[in-house]
């Protein structure tokens, strides 16, 4: 690579930050070259003289549905199975930007992926309504639609870091890849619920999927009317079977499992149904033995995607970019701070806009690595003022076997050899 790379200018040039950058040995404040130089000497050929191989022959053919480059074969989801569940984690460490490609969207299936013929699928709205309604896809396609970019995160994301006594040496995707972000397009649920006509006693809605175990959850009606979407499209194309084809419920910022896939029934009721899915699986046991029920929101969280677990800095000392993703189920990300010394000092990272409500936000910070041991951490704050807790504080709130809604600060240790490893700081 030729030329120089200039790290982005510091965000928020307060006096405090300037002096932090000056006084900190680790964070780069000036432009640093990372490109390699043209070779010199008697046998050196001038840069640009040799034609690349691909320019000497005609190219190959394309495919009807575009595929990633063959050299990107390793960029895939990883699967793990537990108690009949199948979980596919997104390789966050290989992604840049904020939108998860459809083929890499994480997935959690309690009973596999059903094959649903859209011509035969119906959505029913019944219960405490004036007019029970049934919709086929042809009819739904005539409704006005909206598009929104939102993350989706499994309540059990990062369970390994919540439960394991020692930090497991895994990749970021394997540790925290049950989260993704996509542009969802569909029909506001208020349109369909209001068409059915809500009775005064209507307070909750039971959403049921058309998969084997009929996954179902109860949601407060008021929240569904405000924010709920019947999603039909994911990043511009129809939903993937893995994401609920032909239609799913989307509740922005709420734990993944209420986002019922393969949605076929909305029953309007006056109290929660206490389905097996919400009673058995998605409750948290607090430290005092009390049960936390219907904890819908996913709280503010962030992860450093590069450098991250099982990666190795190429050994060259100098400029590196620390970068990552932050999100909150409560609103926009207001601030991300990064530490290179295990939390002893923090610098404010640059946020890359647009900073959207309940969506992935990218953050970066230039860093000079001089071969020293380092512990990299990121700490996000959302616009409501919620800040990520330390692991110790998070663990003190819940019973030792609780793992849902884990949003503690995540840490990577960088060794002198440049190897990056999961650690508890
Ligand atoms: N019908 C149905 N909906 C479901 C599930 C399921 O197994 N069946 N899994 C839930 C869980 S636990 C999560 S985390 C999200 C994951 O959504 P995704 O697979 O599109 O990422 O879907 C939820 N919706
Ligand atoms: Mo989940």
- Distance from residue 266's CA to the centre of ligand 1 (Å): 16
pLDDT score at 142: 98
In this structure, are 259 and 116 located in the same domain? yes
Q: Name the more confident of 3 and 326.
A: 326
pLDDT score at 316: 80
Residue 301 confidence (pLDDT) above 90: yes
3-state secondary structure of 196: helix
pLDDT score at 306: 98
CA 392, chain centre distance (Å): 23
CA 152, chain centre distance (Å): 6
Residue 156 confidence (pLDDT) above 70: yes
pLDDT score at 38: 67
Closest CA to 303 of 87, 151, 122: 151
Q: Where are the alpha helices (DSSP H) in 255-410?
A: 276, 391-397
Task: Give me the CATH number covering residue 96.
Answer: 3.90.420.10
How far, CA to CA in Å, does 109 sit from each of 173, 256, 258, 382?
A: 18, 11, 13, 30
- Distance from residue 222's CA to the centre of ligand 2 (Å): 23
Task: Give me the CATH number covering residue 360.
Answer: 2.60.40.650
Nearest ligand 1 atom to the CA of 211 is 1
SS3 per residue for 90-106: CCHHHCCCCCCCHHHCC
Residue 282 confidence (pLDDT) above 50: yes
Structure tokens at 420: 């990056």
Structure tokens at 199: 């009775």
Q: Name the more confident of 270 and 275.
A: 270
Does the residue 53 lie in any domain? no
Pocket of ligand 1 (CB under 6 A): 105-110, 152, 154, 209, 211, 215, 242-243, 256-257, 259-262
Rounded distance, CA 90 to CA 246, Å? 22
Does the residue 241 lie in any domain? yes
What is the bridge-based pairing of β-strands 122-127 and 263-269? parallel
pLDDT score at 29: 56
3-state secondary structure of 323: strand
In this structure, are 238 and 116 located in the same domain? yes
In this structure, are 346 and 221 located in the same domain? no
In this structure, are 267 and 356 located in the same domain? no
Does the residue 380 lie in any domain? yes
In this structure, are 337 and 209 located in the same domain? no
In this structure, are 281 and 349 located in the same domain? no
Pocket test for ligand 1, best of 108, 177, 212, 246 (most atoms within 8 A of CB): 108
> Which one of 285, 312, 331 terminates a domain?
285
- Nearest residue (by CA) to ligand 1, atom 19, is 107
**Contact call for residues 328 and 357 (beta carbons, < 8 A):** no
Does the residue 17 lie in any domain? no
Rounded distance, CA 12 to CA 384, Å? 19
In this structure, are 344 and 393 located in the same domain? yes
pLDDT score at 28: 63
Rounded distance, CA 327 to CA 158, Å? 14
Q: Which residues contact 19 (CB under 8 A, 6 or more apart)?
A: none
User: Which tens digits make up the pLDDT trace of 44-64?
Assistant: 777 888 899 999 999 999 999
Rounded distance, CA 55 to CA 69, Å? 18
Pocket test for ligand 1, best of 211, 259, 277 (most atoms within 8 A of CB): 259
In this structure, are 136 and 206 located in the same domain? yes
Rounded distance, CA 123 to CA 246, Å? 10
Rounded distance, CA 265 to CA 248, Å? 10
Beta bridge partners of 183: 149
Q: Where are the alpha helices (DSSP H) in 24-145?
A: 137-140
In this structure, are 315 and 268 located in the same domain? no
List the strands of the sheet with 350-352, edge to edge. 301-306, 318-327, 361-369, 350-352
Does the residue 262 lie in any domain? yes
Pocket test for ligand 1, best of 150, 252, 256 (most atoms within 8 A of CB): 256
In the chain, how long is the greatest CA-to-CA distance?
88
Structure tokens at 8: 């982005």
pLDDT score at 15: 33
Q: Which residues contact 205 (CB under 8 A, 6 or more apart)?
A: 127, 193, 218, 219, 220, 221, 224, 266, 267, 268, 269
Percentage of the residues of the chain whose pLDDT score is greater than 70 = 92
- Using a 10 angstrom Cβ sphere, with 0-12 exposed, 13-18 middle and 19 or more buried, the burial of residue 151 is buried
Unique residue bearing structure tokens 């206490």:
274
User: Which tens digits make up the pLDDT trace of 363-418?
Assistant: 999 999 999 999 999 999 999 999 999 999 999 999 999 999 999 999 999 999 99
In this structure, are 167 and 251 located in the same domain? yes
Residue 2 confidence (pLDDT) above 50: no
Residue 260: give the domain boundaries.
78-285
pLDDT score at 26: 67
- Distance from residue 81's CA to the centre of ligand 2 (Å): 13
Does the residue 290 lie in any domain? no
**Contact call for residues 28 and 367 (beta carbons, < 8 A):** yes
Residue 290 confidence (pLDDT) above 60: yes
Which residues are placed with Cβ below 5 angstroms of ligand 2, an ion?
108, 154, 256-257
> Which one of 260, 285, 310 terminates a domain?
285
Mean pLDDT of 215-227: 97
Rounded distance, CA 161 to CA 177, Å? 12
Does the residue 383 lie in any domain? yes
Q: Name the more confident of 202 and 295.
A: 202
In this structure, are 82 and 217 located in the same domain? yes
SS3 per residue for 379-425: EEEECCCCECCCHHHHHHHECCCCCCCCCCCEEEEECCCCEEEEECC
Lowest mean pLDDT among 18-22, 160-164, 180-184, 199-203: 18-22
Does the residue 46 lie in any domain? no
- Nearest residue (by CA) to ligand 1, atom 15, is 256
In this structure, are 104 and 234 located in the same domain? yes
Percentage of the residues of the chain whose pLDDT score is greater than 90 = 80
Summary mean pLDDT of the chain: 91
Domains in the chain, number: 2
User: Which tens digits make up the pLDDT trace of 236-254?
Assistant: 999 999 999 999 999 999 9
Mean pLDDT of 213-221: 94
Q: Name the more confident of 166 and 289.
A: 166
Closest CA to 109 of 257, 239, 298, 236: 257
> Which one of 285, 309, 325 terminates a domain?
285
Rounded distance, CA 314 to CA 16, Å? 32
């Amino acid at each position: 690579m030729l030329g120089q790379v200039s790290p982005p200018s510091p965000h928020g040039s307060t006096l405090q930050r300037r002096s932090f950058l000056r006084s900190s040995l680790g964070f780069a404040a000036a432009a640093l070259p990372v490109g390699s130089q043209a070779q010199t000497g008697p046998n050196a050929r001038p840069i640009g003289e040799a034609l690349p191989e691909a320019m000497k022959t005609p190219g190959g053919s394309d495919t009807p549905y575009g595929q990633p480059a063959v050299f990107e074969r390793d960029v895939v989801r990883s699967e793990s199975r537990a108690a009949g569940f199948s979980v596919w984690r997104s390789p966050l460490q290989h992604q840049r930007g904020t939108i998860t490609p459809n083929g890499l969207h994480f997935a959690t299936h309690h009973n596999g992926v059903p094959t649903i013929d859209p011509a035969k699928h119906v959505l029913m709205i019944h219960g405490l309504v004036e007019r029970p309604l049934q919709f086929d896809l042809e009819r739904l396609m005539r409704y006005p639609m909206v598009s929104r970019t939102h993350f989706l995160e499994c309540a059990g994301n990062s369970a390994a870091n919540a439960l394991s006594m020692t930090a497991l040496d895994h990749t970021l995707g394997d540790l925290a890849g049950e989260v993704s972000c996509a542009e969802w397009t569909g029909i506001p649920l208020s349109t369909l619920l209001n068409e059915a006509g809500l009775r005064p006693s209507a307070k909750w809605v039971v959403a049921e999927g058309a998969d084997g175990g009929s996954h179902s959850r109860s949601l407060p009606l008021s929240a569904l009317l405000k924010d709920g979407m019947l999603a039909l499209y994911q990043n511009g194309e129809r939903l993937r079977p893995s994401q609920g084809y032909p239609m799913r419920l989307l509740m922005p910022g709420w734990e993944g499992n209420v986002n019922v896939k393969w949605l076929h029934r909305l029953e309007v009721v006056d109290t929660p149904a206490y389905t097996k899915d919400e009673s058995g699986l998605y409750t948290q046991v607090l430290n005092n033995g009390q049960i936390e029920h219907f904890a819908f929101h996913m709280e503010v969280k962030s992860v450093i995607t590069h450098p991250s677990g099982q990666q190795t800095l190429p050994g060259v000392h100098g400029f590196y970019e620390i970068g990552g993703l932050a999100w909150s189920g409560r609103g926009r990300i207001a601030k991300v701070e990064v530490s290179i010394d295990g939390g002893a000092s923090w610098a404010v990272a640059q946020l890359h806009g647009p900073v959207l409500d309940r969506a992935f936000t990218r953050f970066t910070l230039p860093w000079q690595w001089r071969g020293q041991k380092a512990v990299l951490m990121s700490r996000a704050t959302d616009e409501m003022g919620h800040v990520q807790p330390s692991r110790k504080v998070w663990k003190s709130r819940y019973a030792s076997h609780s793992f849902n809604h884990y949003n503690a600060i995540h840490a990577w240790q960088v060794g002198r050899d440049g190897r990056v490893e999961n650690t508890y700081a």
